[in-house]
Amino acid sequence: MTGAFFGAAVIAYPLVRRLGRNGFFFLALVPFAALIFSLATVPDIFGSAGSPLVESMNWLPALGLEGIFRLDELSWLMSLLVTGVGALVFVYCARYFPPDEPGLARFAAVFMAFAGMMYGLVVADELLMLYLFWEGTTVFSYLLIGHSQSRRRSRQAALQALIVTTAGGLAMLVGMILLMAVTGTGQISTLMERASLGLDTGPVIVTAVILILVGAVSKSALLPFHFWLPGAMAAPTPVSAYLHAAAMVKAGIYLILRLAPGYHALPGWSETLLTLGLLTMFIGGWQALKQTDLKLLLAFGTVSQLGFLTTMASFGTPDITKAALAMLIAHALFKACLFLCVGIIDHRAGTRDLTKLSGGWKAFPVVAVCATIAAASMSGLPPLLGFVAKEAVYSTLLASGDKASIIALIGVMIGSMLTVAYSARFVWGAFSSKAGVDDIARRDEKITLIISPVMLTVLTVVLGPAAGLTDGYFGAWTSTLPVIDPGDGDYHLALWHGLEPALALSAITIAVGLGLFFVRDSFAKVQSTLPSGLDFHDLYSKLINWMEKLALWVTSRTQRGSLPFYQSVIYLVLVAGIGLAVISNDTWNIDFKLFDTPLDFIIAAVLIIVAVAATRAKKRFTAVVVTGISGYAMVAYFAFVGAPDLALTQVLVETITIVVFVLVLRRLPARIGQSTGRFTPAWRAIIGAAVGVAMMVVVLIAAGVRISDPVSVDFGQLAYELGHGKNIVNVTLVDIRVWDTLGEISVLVAAGTGIAGLIFVRGREGHLHRFVSRRDGTELQGRVRFQPVAEEIGNFHDTPREDVTQRRVSWLIAGRTLAPRNRSIILEVTARLVFHAVLIFSLYLLFAGHNDPGGGFAGGLVAGLALVVRYLAGGKFELAEAARFTPSGMLGTGMIMAVLTGVGGWIWGDTVFKSVYLEGDIPVLGHLSFGTSTFFDIGVYLIVVGLMLDILRSLGAEVDLHQERDEMVLTNRLNESYNLSENFSAEAEHDAVSSILDRVNHLDVDNGAEGGRL
């Protein structure tokens, strides 16, 4: 079912774009189907011979990692929350958001992806797999909290939640790796079996478990990380109802419940969780009583309840854990309902300030009934589910009777009194009539908007009296937990247990809580007189500010704006590190061989000459060309040693690199400036020689110290027998080492995004404007709005301006957009003739690369060179004609194809990225073998083409626009400075133009900054 969520996330964007907010109704079918699936598994899991449902896949077999999904009694209960509440919230979204809500399609896709991550989290039975889903919820919650991108508060809240939960997640990852290293397994169910047998103890295990708890505590917003949850209330109400009431914040509680049976007896477990849980419960309830914003009141109430749940989940014994599970379900139902009701109140009244709300009972009676019942359940009033769960907590803690249970009971009672008080304050603030405040106007409530809170309310009401019927579903998992005290595990959930101490404690809790509410004004004065204590949000802000100042201090002393300084530091550190390693080396099995063939001397001589020439070059373009020669010399070397694939890739990369350098050099001074820093040419030569010698020594040592056969020895056989290809390089990239390639293409996607982000400051999705002309060719449309400065200056001379209709015929459709002096008919003809042939050749390299030199990377570079030729021949309009697609679309499509190939390997095989091959004899073509890895190679091809297009759009077309704007500014300044008119003398005109041209042609010699400003 996890895949269904992600599949729905893919189609959510176009679906909502097409149907608008009504698309949420269709999206709600996905979590609803998952709910039906969970309910359908009841006989398999809870039957007399029931057992967990387990699915596994070979994730990384070489590392012994498996993707294991396990639906047992605990994950089944959590899946009901993720799917059931999720379906109701999706229905709520269909009418909560206005039809013109910006970014609604994006929100829908992210929301569905988050639901998939949360579902995967609760069914994952492998630590690293759980961690992937864990961090997935973090990332998607960041996007959901920051949905309102134009609001600074939303952006700050999203970033705060991301930083806090990610920091905890990193600590948890370290703990997981430690635990796996010590125990030899990452399967959670196996770890619990080992722990129950007392096999896993010791300081390393304790450290690992405490680090995992750091992640759980940060995710579930416990002290000292609790401040991020109220801040996250800047998110839309559906996000608050789902992520921060029913799903995401429950992830930490779920992890504690999952690990408690095995590790609750470890040193530090109970002390840590009891302390943090009880303090969080008290602080959250205390802060909730101070709030006037209904949503913030519920947020701090959620913090308090999370502390309550953590306290109960930490025990790991059958009865107390059963009470914790009942409270977990009850909390999800009443808190999600309350958040949804607040969203409706906010929509109708335009405010959430309880001091400004009046007459809510009359304005929206159905919402008032739902919210009141939910608040009553939160307070623990009978006959609701919240009462059943609260009484179960009191009863099981009393029955346990040990020191930890008594402390927990006292703390929980105090926190629950505050819960009753702020619950009553919520109902009073939202729905009562207040003197001096205008009543809210009544409007009919749409059934599609209120159906979700109504359903949650019905469940809260029904599950209270029916607690006895549901006891088996809670007890099925707790019955498997270790029993410490005799009689533990005998408690049963029920609405009525008779007159017992727990009932008296519940009555005392309710009475004191209501008493606090009735003296709320006096109590508020007491709160205002007491010190507020530590403001953890303020501490967080100060910590972030301190880190920013530290970063600024370090940056100001290391990032000095001097490229020679940066390079020198890097090289000196490199030489020092390598030098220490060489000195400490005690194995010097150097097998020195001067050359393989006499041709090596020729290549070495070329490399030496161009290296020296590059240091002597005075102009940037000369330095780039000379450096490029060294790259082509390496192409020759690869060809001589029998590596045609490397030679092909090297020649393409070197060519592309030179093109990119040339595009960048257009905005830089032509000449290389003279150094005025400390690193004189002599020092540079010394540093450069030291680096060269160090690397030479490293190569000599590394080549002689190998004691085992390299893994690449078997690649030839693996490539031919398993990869069905003769090109070892390509088969390695798309099959044997495909995970490495996936990481590399991810870097390419990030690089393309980064390049565009630096150039397109306000948004990377600007489209190139295509060239359009009238059929008679007498007028050009879509041309640049201003002429280059060379043309404008040409107007000052006696030569008349060339008319557009008299220009020569273009071989390229956008060739006429260029100034005549910038056009090359030879280049246009060449581009027209070779473009399609080069594209076909790139496709040949793509599909032939499995057996011959080529592949997706080489083919993509060749296609990119074809686009380069079109751009150089016809400019940015010609680039728009050649590539009528966006780079982001190419990058995204390629990445999706690559990832789906991996997922497909698990579907049609048993391992992620497992390749399947179809072989047969085809007429004319002969014997062919087609593998699914080809789809991965196609993804690589699309990513490389998208990256090349991104480079051409940003460093090419966009820089053209920047340059034209600068030239336009220069032209306007010229006109203003010399006030050109019909009476301007020819001699003065000539002098003015000469002066400007001289300045333009020479300003970059000594003053690059001035050139940049002009």
Token pair belonging to 653: 């990369």
Look up residue 280 and give its amino acid.
Answer: T
In a 3-state reduction of DSSP, which class is residue 65? strand
Token digits of residue 720: 């031919």
Confidence of residue 123 (pLDDT cuts 50, 70, 90): very high
907-922 pLDDT per residue, tens: 777 778 888 887 777 7
Does the structure show a pLDDT above 70 at 797? no
Q: Give dist(CA 673, CA 682) in Å, integer.
A: 17
Residue at 249: amino acid letter? V
In the predicted model, what is the mean pLDDT of the chain?
Answer: 82
What are the beta bridge partners of residue 920? Answer: 928
Nearest to 883 by CA among 750, 773, 770: 770
pLDDT for 783 equals: 36
| Number of DSSP helices (H) and strands (E) in the chain, helices first | 42, 6
- For residue 932, give the nearest of 913, 911, 906, 907 by alpha carbon: 913
The pLDDT score that the predictor gives to residue 109 is 93
List of residues 6+ apart from 519 with CB closer than 8 A: none
User: If 0-12 CB within 10 Å is exposed, 13-18 middle and 19+ buried, where does residue 548 land?
Assistant: exposed
Cβ-Cβ contacts under 8 Å for 357 (sequence gap 6 or more):
294, 345, 349, 351, 429, 430, 431, 434, 437, 440
Chain mean position to CA 44: 36
Residue 656 clears pLDDT 70, i.e. is over it: yes
Q: Which of 361, 378, 467 is nearest to 422 (CA)?
A: 378
Q: Using an 8 Å Cβ cutoff, are 940 and 860 in contact?
A: yes
Region for residue 435 given its phi and psi (left: phi exceeds 0; alpha: psi -120 to 50; beta: otherwise) = beta
C-alpha to C-alpha distance for 610 and 958, rounded to whole angstroms: 33
DSSP per position, 839-885: HHHHHHHHHHTTTSS--HHHHHHHHHHHHHHHHHHHHHHHHHHH--S
The predicted pLDDT at position 809 comes to: 52
Instruction: Count Cβ neighbours within 10 Å for each residue of 151-182 and write b for 16 or more, e otherwise.
Output: eeebeebbebbbbbbbebbbbbbebbbbbbee
Residue 763 has pLDDT above 60, yes or no: no
- Split at pLDDT 50, 70, 90, the class of 939 is very high
What is the greatest pairwise CA distance in the chain?
112
Return the higher-pLDDT residue of 486 and 688: 688
Nearest of 219, 233, 82, 249 to residue 146 by alpha carbon? 233
- pLDDT surpasses 90 at 32: yes
pLDDT digits (tens, 9 = 90+) for 267-278: 888 889 999 999
Q: Single out the residue of 110, 115, 116, 97 nearest to residue 158, CA to CA.
A: 110
Q: Taking 80 as the threshold, does the pLDDT of residue 65 lie above it? A: no
Q: Are 816 and 807 in contact (CB under 8 A)?
A: yes
Give the model's confidence band at 333: pLDDT under 50 very low, under 70 low, under 90 confident, else very high: very high
- Torsion angle of the four alpha carbons 460, 466, 468, 470, in this order, in degrees rounded to the nearest 10: -70
Q: Work out the pLDDT band at 814, boundaries 50, 70, 90.
A: low
Q: Which pLDDT score, from 0 to 100, does residue 791 have? A: 37
Percent of the chain having pLDDT more than 70? 85
**Which amino acid appears at position 337 of this protein?**
C
pLDDT number for residue 301: 92
| Integer angstrom CA distances of residue 823 from 201, 660, 912 | 77, 21, 52
Ranges 76-85, 238-247, 544-553: which has the least confidence: 238-247
Q: What secondary structure does DSSP assign to 285-314, as a single string?
A: HHHHTT--BHHHHHHHHHHHHHHHHHHHHT
Contact yes or no for 183/204 (Cβ under 8 A) = no
CB–CB of 902/912 below 8 Å?
yes
Contact 410, 274 (CB under 8 A): no
Please name which of 938, 747, 943 lies closest in space to residue 855, comparing C-alpha atoms.
938
SS3 readout for 678-743: CCCHHHHHHHHHHHHHHHHHHHHHHHHCCCCCCHHHHHHHHHHHCCCCCCHHHHHHHHHCHHHHHH
Rg of the Cα atoms in the chain: 35
pLDDT at 804 over 70: no
Could you count the other beta carbons within 10 Å of the beta carbon of residue 761?
8
Q: Does 870 score more than 90 pLDDT?
A: no
Give the Å distances, CA to CA, from 128 to 121, 231, 363, 758.
Answer: 11, 29, 50, 35
Of 287-301, 525-539, 817-831, give the range with the top mean pLDDT: 287-301
Residue with tokens 């099925």: 476
Closest CA to 367 of 244, 451, 464, 242: 451
Backbone φ, ψ for residue 223 (5° rounding): -55, 135
Tokens of 844: 């040949």
**pLDDT higher than 90, residue 412:** yes
In sequence order, what are the residues at sequence separation of 6 or more whose Cβ sits closer than 8 angstroms to the Cβ of residue 605?
none
Q: What is the pLDDT of residue 451?
A: 92
Burial class (CB in 10 A: 0-12, 13-18, 19+), 222: buried
Nearest to 421 by CA among 491, 332, 517, 342: 517
pLDDT classification of 213: cutoffs 50, 70, 90: very high
pLDDT in tens, 940-949: 999 999 988 8
pLDDT in tens, 601-619: 888 898 889 888 888 888 8
Query: Dihedral sign, CA of 813, 814, 816, 821?
Result: negative
Considering Cα of 497, then 498, then 502, then 508, what sign does the dihedral take?
positive
pLDDT for position 789: 35
The 3-state DSSP class for residue 324 equals: helix
For the record, the structure tokens of 741 come out as: 């390639």
Coil, strand or helix: which one is 465? coil
More reliable by pLDDT, 807 or 333:
333
Tally of CB atoms within 10 A around 776: 7
> What does the alpha-carbon distance between residue 454 and residue 341 come to, in Å, rounded to a whole number?
10
Q: Is the peptide bond before 531 cis (omega within 30 degrees of 0)?
A: no
Q: d(Cα 808, Cα 796) in Å, to the nearest integer?
A: 23
Both ends of the chain: CA-CA distance in Å?
A: 60
Q: What is the 3-state secondary structure (H, E, C) of 100-168?
A: CCCCHHHHHHHHHHHHHHHHHHHHECEHHHHHHHHHHHHHHHHHHHCCCCCCHHHHHHHHHHHHHHHHH
**pLDDT tens digits, one per residue of 425-462:** 999 988 888 888 888 877 777 788 899 999 999 999 99
Distances (CA, A) of 785 to 130, 782, 819, 931: 55, 8, 13, 51
Among residues of the chain, what percentage have pLDDT more than 90? Answer: 28
CA separation for the pair 241, 301 (Å, rounded): 13
